[in-house]
A and B are shown apart, each in its own frame.
Chain A
Amino acid sequence: MYEELLEDIAQGNALREVSPYLKLAVALGSILLCLLSESFVAPLAMALLLSLGVLLLARVDPRTYAALFAAPLSFALVSVGVILLLSGGADPLWGWQPLPWLSVSLTRESINEGILVLSRMIGGMSALIFLAVTTPMTDLFLVMRRCGIPEPVLDLAMMIYRAIFLILDQLVQTYQAQRMRLGYSSFGESIRSLSTLCGSVFIGSWIAGEDLVRAMDARCSAGKFAMPGDIQPVRAGPCLAVSAFLTMSALLVAITGSITVI
């Protein structure tokens, strides 16, 4: 239950009481600086700092963090492989033409481009994971309301958030019931089991939706969702730390702009 895992980490992390505005500033600021950086140095340095923040300040379990990082990293590596071999350039270090219309080569430009893209991806992923494991969705809803996201959109998002866990719960229960009765034991059986699972979860979601409307009606629904007025305040210490992090990162982006691997 991946979603639940992420949300549970966020609910219990040691930076829970830091203002979500600051955490959002760290994440969005880091992503922006990673995109602006012309060198691999700044994104990697930011990724290192953000990872240290997640592990040491938010006290997220290192194995969980590694697992969270591994999945998107594998996609990133595949993409970078394609860039390295296919983007070409004026200064080839190695080349191969297996077919008349296909040539692959490693060039100075493609290596620099590939490393830069990889470092930006690592930096961006670190920023996103930092936000995901330190800031629960429930806090982000509050920030979104303050930022003027239209109420119907936000209300819908909150109901979807709540429904995800109910549907996930049903999904897991049905899946386990199928496994217990030898579902997914062969390829054909897997297809059949999966289609039954989808059908059952669809019907379950439909019923849950009807119940939701009934539950809202029973409590005099006029389509309004309350938002608690209080949000974790922006305190001086964390605010200084975030400002220092973003300023140093911006300086690093400016200073290291011309550094390349080769």
Chain B
Amino acid sequence: MGSIILEARDVRYRYPRGMEAIRGISFHVRRGERVALVGPNGAGKSTLLLMFNGMIRPDSGILLFDNEPLAYDRDSLRRLRRRVGFVFQNPDRQIIAPTVWQDVAFGPTNLGLSEEQVRAAVEGALGAVGLAGFGRRPPHQLSSGEKKRVAMAGVLAMDPDLLVLDEPTNNLDPAGSEDIMELLDELGEKGKTIFISTHDVELAYPWADRVILLRAGEILQEDSPEVAFGDPDLVRRARLSVPALLELHRELERRGLSSPGRRPRTVLDLVRSVEQATRGGGARPPCGAIHVCNVDVTGREALARWLSAHDGISIGAMGTRAKQRAAGDGLPLDFSYGVIDKCMLSALNGRSSLILTVGGMVAQVEQRVARFREESGAAIDVRRVEGA
């Protein structure tokens, strides 16, 4: 468990001539954690988030970043905002420059970086969000999802330690939401601490390491997602709904169709739980294999040859670069979000699949499948594709 990066101690805030928006909130966030602040509209989520980078100063209580109380003089705020990247709910309100390049370069330029450093930061950030080559485009010609990515790139270019996102999937279509969550997963894997606010329980439930339920400026519950969302009364009081997966698990459990105990976080967990409850001592059918291909070292022709030898195999892509490669090679993707889980589900069903990914994520796939193999006893093989 990492050290504490952000802490709030009995924080209160009242809008001028308004009601008290934040009523004595205390919590902490550790390095590398993925935390979701979940609550209904008007719960005070955005207000609380704006305190993290000093945009709003609490009336009382203390906020600490890296164990230092927040200071509100100009220089301290600049230092803080360099380390706490904030992505607004509406990207149109965040994108300020006439071109994508200029917008992403805004933060690094104002930090006083050299031209070369600015250029490197912009190219790195645009590459990370999958918008390489978009630099000269004006923001008004982009889709909502692309604008959101530009807003994220603008923040990533400053290389913050903590990434705060207010309703990251608001106004996005399901595919756009999946892309953004996949991007957040990627950033999480790279060690960024990520704090999001949302009222979408289906989004927060499988993604977050920890969930903070907020209602009317107060914390109702703060725990792992399966505990925080596991109490229907609490969820109702927070004007939210129980995630569909948890509800389904509860009903299956009552009917003896799912094994009691740990609540499932993903469809894979639920399938395993159902299999355990229903199969008894029966033998498991043979599992399919998961092939992993590092697209950075596997050429187009080598991959095409491999695919022609494995006709009809399901293909998933993890990470922005892998997805771009798939699009460039004209490969239709069966899975683009939650790829490892979906491939393991296929494997449990006796079907093999291919995951396109890059660099360190190959090892991540192997570790994740090995962990599942140990827990479930399912003999799923992970094989590296030639050249990977």
- In the assembled complex, how far is the CB of residue B329 from the closest CB belonging to chain A, in whole angstroms? 26
Instruction: Look across to chain A and name the residue whose beta carbon is closest to the beta carbon of B157.
Output: A219
Chain B, interface residues (CB within 8 Å), range: 35 or more
Contact at B139–A162, with CB atoms within 8 Å?
yes
For residue A8, which residues in chain B have a CB less than 8 angstroms away from its CB?
Answer: 141
Asked whether A220 and B102 contact (CB < 8 A) given A11-B138, A138-B138, A229-B119, the answer is no
Mark each residue of chain A from 135 to 169: 1 if its CB lies under 8 Å from any CB of chain B, else 0: 01110010000000000000000110110011001
State whether A226 touches B105 (Cβ < 8 A): yes
A78 to chain B, nearest CB (A): 34
Instruction: Indicate whether A228 sits within 8 Å of B110 (C-beta atoms), given known contacts A162-B96, A218-B53, A218-B81.
Output: no
Encode B93-126 as 1/0 by CB contact (under 8 A) with A. 1111111011001111111100100110010000
Chain A window 220-240, contacts with chain B (Cβ cutoff 8 Å), 1 for yes, 0 for no: 111111111100000000000
Question: Is B98 in contact with A138, judged by CB distance below 8 angstroms?
Answer: yes
Measured between beta carbons, the chain B residues less than 8 angstroms from A165 are: 138-140
The answer on a CB contact under 8 Å between A226 and B109 is yes
Residue of B nearest to A212 (CB): B96
Q: Are A220 and B96 in contact (CB under 8 A)?
A: no
Contact A227 B102, beta carbon cutoff 8 Å:
yes
B325 within 8 A of A: no
Closest B residue to A165 by CB, please name it. Answer: B140
In the complex with contacts A11-B141, A158-B102, A224-B109 CB distance below 8 A: yes
Residues from 153 to 200 in A contacting B, C-beta threshold 8 Å? 158-159, 161-162, 165-166, 169
Chain B CB within 10 A, most for which of A214, A219, A223, A224 = A219
A158 to B103, CA, bound (A): 11
Task: For residue A160, give the distance in angstroms from its CB to the closest CB of chain B.
Answer: 9
Q: Is the CB–CB distance between A214 and B107 below 8 Å?
A: no
B223 within 8 A of A: no
Are B96 and A216 in contact, with the CB atoms below 8 A?
yes
Across the A-B interface, give the 4 residue pairs with the lowest CB-CB distance, nearest first.
A226-B105, A165-B140, A226-B109, A219-B107
Besides the known contacts A219-B107, A226-B118, 18 further A-B residue pairs in the complex with CB atoms under 8 A apart: A7-B138, A11-B137, A138-B98, A138-B138, A161-B98, A169-B92, A218-B81, A219-B110, A220-B78, A220-B81, A220-B82, A222-B110, A223-B110, A224-B110, A225-B109, A226-B102, A226-B106, A226-B109
Interface residues of A (CB under 8 A from B): 4, 7-8, 11, 136-138, 141, 158-159, 161-162, 165-166, 169, 208, 211-212, 214-229
Interface residues in chain B, defined as those with a beta carbon under 8 Å from any beta carbon in chain A? 53, 55, 77-78, 81-82, 86, 88, 90, 92-99, 101-102, 105-112, 115, 118-119, 122, 135-141, 154-155, 158
